[in-house]
Amino acid sequence: KQWYQRRVAITAGIAVDCSATASPQLAGRGSETIEQEILSVLNLLYSSIDALNLTDLCIVKGESCWLLNIDVLFVGCGGNIFDAASVALKAALHSTTMPNVSVSGEGIEMELEISDDPYQVWKLSTAMCPICVTLYQEGESFAVDVTEEESECSEGYVHVGVLPSGEVSAMEKSGAGNMDPTALLEMIDAAVRIGMDIHKQLDRHLHAESTTATL
């Protein structure tokens, strides 16, 4: 069972690309640093096998499975790009449909037939998909969804992965500044409150969008 879970877990890959038109800081080698940091945060959020039930991607156990590629492209930079990427990723996974596959035969005679019926599809569950809430330390206080200018003044920041239930799934500190443990706990509490609210609003919007699409 453990081998099977690891085998399937490698069928999801995330790639990040920042357009040079988004912001001057995303031009040249500066974009590579930001891309790697965003990629690191997203991989951290989805490192748990509970984030996505990737076993659903299995077609024939030990033989074939769907390959899930996730491409994140930034064409604008007007706020916290880490949090925006995590919200966009959950929304994209929610709207992704996979065609049904029928299997016939065994061994070398096995054949896979992918349905071309647009209604014969299924979706991955996003019920356990986390979102990122990044809090920036600004002196003795902290801020969320900061501008580029505000982020440059920050002494450090914390990425907190929050599940819809309010559980913290991941956390990572960045920046050179030290953080007081008491202040860090306050930042985590704030991240949980903000994260749960974002989940509720996002899920409400995605549900309404799905309902409209089926009418």
Residues 6+ apart with CB under 8 A from 182: none
pTM: predicted TM-score of the whole model, two decimal places: 0.83
Alpha-carbon distance of 52 to 126, in angstroms, equals: 7
Q: Which residues pair with 99 in a beta bridge?
A: 121
Q: Provide the 10 A C-beta neighbour count for residue 16.
A: 22
Bridging pattern class, strands 12-18 and 68-74: parallel
- Residue 59 pLDDT level (bands cut at 50, 70, 90): confident
- The 3-state DSSP class for residue 124 equals coil
- The 3-state DSSP class for residue 164 equals coil
The whole-number pLDDT of residue 90 equals 95
The whole-number pLDDT of residue 22 equals 60
Place of tokens 């949980």: 192
Query: Can you point out the beta strands (E) in the chain?
Result: 12-18, 58-60, 64-65, 68-74, 98-99, 101-104, 111-114, 121-122, 131-138, 141-144, 156-162, 168-174
Q: Answer for the pair 170, 130: CB distance below 8 angstroms, yes or no.
A: yes
What the block records as the tokens of 103 is 């299997």
Q: Which of residues 9 and 200 earns the better pLDDT score?
A: 200
The whole-number pLDDT of residue 72 equals 87
Sign of CA dihedral 147, 14, 172, 159: positive
- Residue 86 pLDDT level (bands cut at 50, 70, 90): very high
Measured N-to-C along each axis, helices 29-45 and 81-95 cross at an angle, to the nearest 10 degrees, of: 60
- Residue 11 pLDDT level (bands cut at 50, 70, 90): very low
What the block records as the tokens of 13 is 């890959």
- Residue 172 pLDDT level (bands cut at 50, 70, 90): very high
What the block records as the tokens of 150 is 């505000």
The whole-number pLDDT of residue 5 equals 37
Longest CA–CA span in the chain (Å) reads 67
User: Could you tell me how many helices (H) and strands (E) the chain has, helices first?
Assistant: 5, 12
Q: Which of residues 129 and 151 earns the better pLDDT score?
A: 129
Alpha-carbon distance of 26 to 18, in angstroms, equals: 6
